[in-house]
Structures are given as C-alpha cells and as structure tokens.
C-alpha cells in the first residue's frame, strides 16, 4: 500500500484569449487556447491519520484552508467519505497571481494524487466536475496538453501535440487579480482580437508562423492599461528575436515564442537582469507523448 505520492503540476499559458460576451449567470463566455508548459510546482501528498495540512515553499501563498490545494483535498476526501487525512507539500515554482494557473494546477494535481493514493473510484468526468467547483481553469489542468476551452473555460476540445514551443516567460513584480480583470473588461476597448479558428488551423498544420500571426489576448486591453510595463516587455522580447509576444491569461505574465533556442536563451539572460521572475520553458509533454 502506498503512503505518499509526488506529482508535477505544470503551469499553463493562453496562446489565444477571447471573450465572446457575458452570460445571464454573470460569467463571461470565454474562447481560449490553453497550453501546458514545463514550469512545474512539485506536490507531495502523504497520508496521515486525520486532518489536512498544507506546507508551501512560498511566502506568497497562504498555507491555510483557503489554499486551493487544501480545498481540493477537502472536497474529494469528503465526497468519498475518507476518514483519513493528508499532508500536502507544495514546492512552489510557478509565480503567484501571474496568469499561469498556479493555484488551479496545484488543485488538479491534488485531486489526481488523492484519487491514486486512496485508490478512489472516481472517473475522469467526476474529477472534472469536482475540479470545476474549485475554479474554471482546473478542468483544463486536469486534462493537460493543449486544448480549446470555451464556456467558463470548462468545455474542452483537445488539440494535437503538433508543436513543441520554446518560450520565455516574464512575470513583472506584481500580482493581478483575475476577478478584477474580468470586472474591468469592456469589449469596446479591445483593439485586437485573436482569430481562434485560423490559429487552430495553423496549430494543426504545425505552422508556427501562421499560429503566431493569430495569437492575441483581449485582456491586454485591461491589464496593459494599468501596467504600461507589460507592453514594454512585449516589445523588448520581439526586439530580442521573439516571433510573437502576448500576455497570458489575465496577466501580468508575458510569454514570447521563439523559433530557436539560442535567441530565447539570450533574451532570458538579458531580461532576467531586470526582472527576477523570468523563465525559459518549453511545451510540457505528458508521459508517453512524443
Ligand atoms: P489563473 O491563471 O488561473 O487566473 P493565476 O495564475 O493568475 O491564476 P494564482 O497563482 O493561481 O493566479 O493565484 C491566484 C490567487 O490564489 C492568489 O491570491 C493566491 O494567494 C491564491 N492561491 C490559493 N492557493 C494557491 C496555490 N496553491 N498556489 C498559488 N496561489 C494560490
């Protein structure tokens, strides 16, 4: 019988992000291509007699019952009447409040980890439902890879693993609240929309240049207004050889696509001198893929 399990929790970026309107239930109708990258939190879950305990390596993340990893554990243990408890250790490598789904991926990893650790009879569909109760990005984090997400972000159409991308991610030194960005979003202020269908066609044809041509994020109209530095970082990355640079999710992280490793490594070295939370990453390949 296993008593502990260690799993990787990959961050995501949004390669396109569009808002198609507001729904009667108050949520926005989203259309976004999400893509996992190999920037990973490492989660260890240990069985214990009772109670849930969370320990994280980051001062920016609270260890109490508001932590999404804690909430994920509480939800699944209660639903399956588990009397035992867990101790969850999170080695936090994904920047917090960054638009990279750090909390959501931790929650997804905890759901999967507890299912395996306690051998719970939970099918993927039920896990998806539990995940959605925790946050709109959790279903994608459970599924992984690359997907078109619509609805609140929970209706997922898998896309093939066509391209392995090399990226530089830059997280400016402040956090952005996703809820605040949704609240401030005004469709009439958006200057550039992604062409999601054209993006997907290019993606499926392994056409990196075509794909980059159609990458846009409508939330830039909110977050760039507030933080002019985001535009400066995007321009700097393009000057350093990126084919395309856009903000991820609600920001403030910026992602840049490079077609070669050498200019990406050079951009990483240069930007890291002024922006500490800079990363060079590639697409996250699930086990058995490629
Ligand atoms: P998304 O891209 O899904 O909108 P994000 O990357 O912008 O999310 P997170 O890093 O998930 O943002 O953090 C959002 C908030 O969630 C922060 O205020 C943080 O304190 C809280 N939080 C709760 N649990 C966690 C966790 N396990 N890891 C990171 N943040 C967490």
Q: How far is the CA of 140 from the centre of ligand 1 (A)?
A: 15
Average pLDDT for residues 271-279, to the nearest whole number?
97
Given this model, what pLDDT does residue 288 score? 46
pTM: 0.95
Strand partners, 5: 45
CA distances from 23 to 52, 58, 206 (A): 36, 36, 34
What ranges make up the beta strands (E) of 49-175? 52-56, 85-91, 146-151, 155-159, 166-170
Q: Is 195 a catalytic residue?
A: no
Q: Are strands 278-282 and 4-22 parallel, antiparallel or unpaired?
A: unpaired
Rounded Cα distance, 260 and 265, in Å: 9
Q: How far is the CA of 204 from the centre of ligand 1 (A)?
A: 31
Please check whether residue 34 is in contact with residue 70, taking contact to mean a CB–CB distance below 8 angstroms.
no
* Mutate-to-test residue for ligand 1 from 17, 42, 102, highest number of ligand atoms within 8 A of CB: 102
Q: What percent of the chain has pLDDT over 70?
A: 99
CA distances from 278 to 11, 34, 39, 62, 271 (A): 14, 20, 11, 23, 7
Residues 53-68 pLDDT 10s: 999 999 899 889 999 9
Average pLDDT for residues 7-31, to the nearest whole number?
93
Q: Is 12 a catalytic residue?
A: yes
Q: How far is the CA of 12 from the centre of ligand 1 (A)?
A: 12
Residues 140-187 pLDDT 10s: 999 999 999 999 999 999 999 989 999 999 999 999 999 999 999 998
* Mutate-to-test residue for ligand 1 from 32, 65, 96, 251, highest number of ligand atoms within 8 A of CB: 96
Please check the confidence at residue 110 and state whether its pLDDT lies above 60.
Answer: yes
Given this model, what pLDDT does residue 269 score? 98
Please check whether residue 6 is in contact with residue 44, taking contact to mean a CB–CB distance below 8 angstroms.
yes
Rounded Cα distance, 113 and 143, in Å: 14
Rounded Cα distance, 33 and 221, in Å: 18
Atom of ligand 1 nearest to the CA of 92: 28
Q: What percent of the chain has pLDDT over 90?
A: 89
Rounded Cα distance, 188 and 121, in Å: 47
pLDDT grade for 2, boundaries at 50, 70 and 90: confident
For residue 204 the two structure tokens come to 């499926």
Residues 32-42 pLDDT 10s: 999 999 999 99
What is the separation of C-alpha 135 from the centre of its chain, rounded to a whole number of angstroms? 12
Does 67 sit in the ligand 1 pocket, CB within 6 Å? Answer: yes
Does 131 sit in the ligand 1 pocket, CB within 6 Å? Answer: no
Given this model, what pLDDT does residue 287 score? 60
Q: Which residue in 18, 92, 137, 234 is the catalytic one?
A: 137
Burial letters 224-262, b for 16+ CB under 10 A, else e: beebebbeebbebbeebbbbbbbbbbbbbbbbbbbeeee
Average pLDDT over the chain, rounded to an integer: 94
Does 41 sit in the ligand 1 pocket, CB within 6 Å? Answer: no
Rounded Cα distance, 111 and 76, in Å: 7
For 130, residues 6+ apart whose C-beta sits below 8 A from its C-beta are: 72, 75, 76, 79, 111, 122
Q: Are strands 85-91 and 52-56 parallel, antiparallel or unpaired?
A: parallel
Please check the confidence at residue 289 and state whether its pLDDT lies above 50.
Answer: no
Please check whether residue 275 is in contact with residue 43, taking contact to mean a CB–CB distance below 8 angstroms.
no
Please check the confidence at residue 290 and state whether its pLDDT lies above 50.
Answer: no
Residues 192-231 pLDDT 10s: 999 999 999 999 999 999 999 999 999 999 999 899 999 9
* Mutate-to-test residue for ligand 1 from 97, 110, 132, 217, highest number of ligand atoms within 8 A of CB: 97
Average pLDDT for residues 93-104, to the nearest whole number?
96
Q: Please provide residue 263's backbone torsions phi and psi, each rounded to the nearest 5 degrees.
A: -65, -30
For residue 103 the two structure tokens come to 């909390």
Rounded Cα distance, 37 and 13, in Å: 7
CA distances from 77 to 56, 62, 71, 111, 267 (A): 20, 21, 10, 9, 45
């Amino acid at each position: 019988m296993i008593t502990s399990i260690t799993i990787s929790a990959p961050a995501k970026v949004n390669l396109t992000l569009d808002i198609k309107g507001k729904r009667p239930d108050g949520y926005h109708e989203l259309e976004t291509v999400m893509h996992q990258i190999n920037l990973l939190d490492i989660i260890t879950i240990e069985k214990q007699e009772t109670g849930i305990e969370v320990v994280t390596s980051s001062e920016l993340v609270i260890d109490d019952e508001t932590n999404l990893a804690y909430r994920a554990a509480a939800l699944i243990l209660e639903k399956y009447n588990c009397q035992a408890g867990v101790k969850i250790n999170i080695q936090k490598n994904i920047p917090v409040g960054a638009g990279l789904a750090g909390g959501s991926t931790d929650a997804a990893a905890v759901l999967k980890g507890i299912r395996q650790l306690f051998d719970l009879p939970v099918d993927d569909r039920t896990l998806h439902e539990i995940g959605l109760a925790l946050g709109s990005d959790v279903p994608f984090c459970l599924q992984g890879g690359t997907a078109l997400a619509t609805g609140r972000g929970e209706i997922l159409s898998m896309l093939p693993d066509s391209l392995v991308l090399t990226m530089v991610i830059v997280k400016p030194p402040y956090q952005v609240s996703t809820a605040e960005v949704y609240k401030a979003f005004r469709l009439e202020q958006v200057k550039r929309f992604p062409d999601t269908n054209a993006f997907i066609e290019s993606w499926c044809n392994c056409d990196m240049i075509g794909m980059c041509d159609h990458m846009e994020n409508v939330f830039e109209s909110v977050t760039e207004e507030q933080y002019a530095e985001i535009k400066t970082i995007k321009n700097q990355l393009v000057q350093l050889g990126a084919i395309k640079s856009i903000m991820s999710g609600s920001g403030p992280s910026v992602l840049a696509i490079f077609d070669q490793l050498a200019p990406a490594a050079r951009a990483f070295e240069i930007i890291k001198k002024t922006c500490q939370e800079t990363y060079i990453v590639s697409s996250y390949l699930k086990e058995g893929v490629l």
